Amino acid sequence: MTDFVMVPVPSDRVLEVYALLATDSAGHGAADGAGILSSASFELPSSGAWNYEIIERLMREASNGVRLVFDYLSDRPGQEISANNLAVGIDRTRDQLNGILGVFGRNVINKYQLDSWLFRAMRSGSDQTMVYVMTEEVAEMVKRARKRT
């Protein structure tokens, strides 16, 4: 059985910890090359691994929190939404948002076997605040999938 320890982590770094934990001890896994969160932004993979069927499954299986995040971002395609504004927009705290995105990140890797998010996540500004952007194409697929779920 694995022992667990409680380690205080600044709330704005929780997703980075999740990314680290998603790798195996040899450093393989989701953090190969890109990681869950880094200073780089995330795009749909060029292979088109995220497709409508997977997005529809995601929306069907997603928690209410994940649905709220996707609804909020899909209503604002192309707009850079700060983590603070996203949290306020879905009526959650930043810690709750970090938890929602952490679970989503683990599901992307473990459940859907993909290595990128459906939207870009990047650090912005002098304070390195997380900013999220969903493309118009993805927003349309999310909206279509939400109508069916």
CATH number at residue 129: 1.10.10.10
State if pTM tops 0.75.
no
Is 35 inside a domain boundary? Answer: no
Low-confidence winner among 9-18, 32-41, 85-94 (lowest mean pLDDT): 32-41
- Helix H or strand E segment including 122: strand 120-124
For the chain, the straight-line distance linking the first and the last C-alpha, in angstroms and rounded, comes to: 38
According to the model, what pLDDT value does residue 49 have?
72
CA distances from 89 to 32, 33, 54, 106 (A): 32, 32, 25, 23
Is 27 inside a domain boundary? Answer: no
Is 32 inside a domain boundary? Answer: no
Higher pLDDT, 111 or 70: 70
Low-confidence winner among 42-46, 50-54, 68-72 (lowest mean pLDDT): 42-46
Residues sharing a CB contact under 8 Å with residue 58, sequence separation 6 or more, in sequence order: 66, 107, 112, 118, 145
According to the model, what pLDDT value does residue 8 have?
75
Query: Residues of the chain with pLDDT > 70: what percent?
Result: 69
Query: Residues of the chain with pLDDT > 90: what percent?
Result: 49
Digit-coded pLDDT (tens) for 84-128: 999 999 999 999 999 999 999 998 888 888 888 889 999 988 788
According to the model, what pLDDT value does residue 124 have?
85
Is 114 inside a domain boundary? Answer: yes
Residue 45 has pLDDT above 50, yes or no: no
According to the model, what pLDDT value does residue 82 have?
96
Higher pLDDT, 14 or 119: 119
Is 37 inside a domain boundary? Answer: no
Q: Which long-range contacts (CB under 8 A, 24 or more apart) does 119-127 make?
A: 119/42, 119/73, 120/41, 120/42, 120/43, 121/15, 121/37, 121/41, 121/42, 122/39, 122/40, 122/41, 122/42, 123/39, 124/80, 124/82
Q: Mean pLDDT, the chain, as a whole number?
A: 79
Is 28 inside a domain boundary? Answer: no
Instruction: Compute the average pLDDT of residues 41-56.
Output: 64
The answer to whether 74 touches 143, Cβ cutoff 8 Å, is: yes
Is 6 inside a domain boundary? Answer: no
Rounded CA separation 87/48 (Å): 29
Structural domain range at position 74: 12-21+43-148
How many domains is the chain partitioned into structurally?
A: 1
Is 121 inside a domain boundary? Answer: yes
